[in-house]
Homo-oligomer: A and B are copies of this chain.
């Protein structure tokens, strides 16, 4: 299953996991449930890694030996069908915790979209650590609950929304993302950056690249958005776009 991971992941040479205290992502991750004076215990089980764009660091079906915490960059999480059809179940930015699962093997794959920085925890070691820090377990439950809500929203999108509504929902959701999750300078609140390819967007929204491209072009033609570059979209009429996203529109400009 780990065919794509030709070379080992890059272990950061000069500091392989011992400065949780200075980690920029801590404030936004589950790690902030651990008190500052106990951070050394967390650091002891963490290993910092870099992951190059396109490289996968979790492979569906592989034994689930580690948890991961994203500290920089973005990953796509996905599942595959035997014939290659792919569903991207989410994108994970800084602060995102990965690998929650009771099962002995990963139920999805993860691959870097941009250059990433991640923290790897041994599953067993983190589990024993959790016994000493119930606050962190609480945080994990919160995180999982929130992801569950997001997953249900995505099911609604995949099962019942039109291509137009899916793209609108995607853009609105991206525009509402907290700054730290994107890992770049803010720009205007209505400027949406898309580090992933059209193919990734299509596989996230259950569409084809062609439909994604065509639909974006249409939204642009209607003056709802601007597309200054492939990876940048500016929302011009946020309210109207949001109306489409939530299915209020339906009529109006088709």
Which of chain B's residues have a CB closer than 8 A to the CB of A189?
A: none
Which of chain B's residues have a CB closer than 8 A to the CB of A155?
A: 79, 87, 89, 151, 154-155, 158
Which of chain B's residues have a CB closer than 8 A to the CB of A140?
A: 141
Judge whether B81 and A142 touch: CB under 8 Å: no
Cα-based distance from A148 to B148 in the complex (angstroms): 6
Could you tell me how many residues of chain A have their Cβ less than 8 Å away from some Cβ of chain B?
44
| Chain B: CB-nearest residue to A247 | B81
Most buried by B among A142, A159, A205, A248: A159
Cα-based distance from A158 to B205 in the complex (angstroms): 10
Judge whether B153 and A151 touch: CB under 8 Å: no
Contact of A89 among B101, B152, B248 (CB under 8 A): B152
The reply on A199 being an interface residue by CB < 8 A is: no
Most buried by B among A83, A86, A134, A151: A151
Judge whether A250 and B148 touch: CB under 8 Å: no
Contact of A82 among B77, B79, B149, B246 (CB under 8 A): B246
